[in-house]
Structure 1
């Protein structure tokens, strides 16, 4: 059985150029990413008013989930720790803007920026202490505190609802 990537190396090391390319061209992974992103978008329960929303894609990688957001007529900004994955997103000419950043250091966005947020196969990386100064509890707290802040009031309400149901 293959080991989970998050147990192999930190994400910025694991998703090097070779792994990023393999991940972004594997038809099974693409299929799973699309299905999960569609479900995440459904769970956001955005108003059905045909208005485009600004969505944050946390751990956006090569932009596979962002493509689902685009197909649903939403704008998106993605953040990821792997430069190699983001290089592929740029190479793919995704419509969203992509930013290099570590979600465990918090979301670097102004309060009330996003109408919602999705994250597909990324949050589990916060549970590891990949560096000597990493404290998973503090990184999770920083992440969720800043995520909550960068969502609009409606987006924050949806986050509260989803976390209460979990």
Structure 2
């Protein structure tokens, strides 16, 4: 059974869904429909806790089981995003190179746009080849805020 919870964050309302003890969706609720049994489970509470820790700058990585539905290529792209360090960004081309498909920048962009688990799978860390903000399911303003949040909490080691 799919369970879904909605909660408030500094970025607005966020929806998290889980099924079979794995997070299946994270998205910004503003203007979107969502389905599932509206019941908060221990996993959804933990996901909320970790997301709020991330948004407050305490958490840099997530420790949650994720289960995504997509093509093998999409899953490969989404998995590669987890290797991009907190506070850093990559281009679509860099991600294409990371997965061994250097000519697949556009396909990487399409896969990135279908990411069902925003923030936890950090598609917001992907920029255009010119370093500009491009495409984000939550909107470019939210993407900019997420990147600024991460940059403000990165500790420098000199």
Q: Structure 2-normalised TM-score? A: 0.27
Normalized per residue, which structure has more helix? 1
TM-score scaled by structure 1? Answer: 0.27
Q: Which has the higher contact order (CA 8 A, sep 6+)?
A: 1
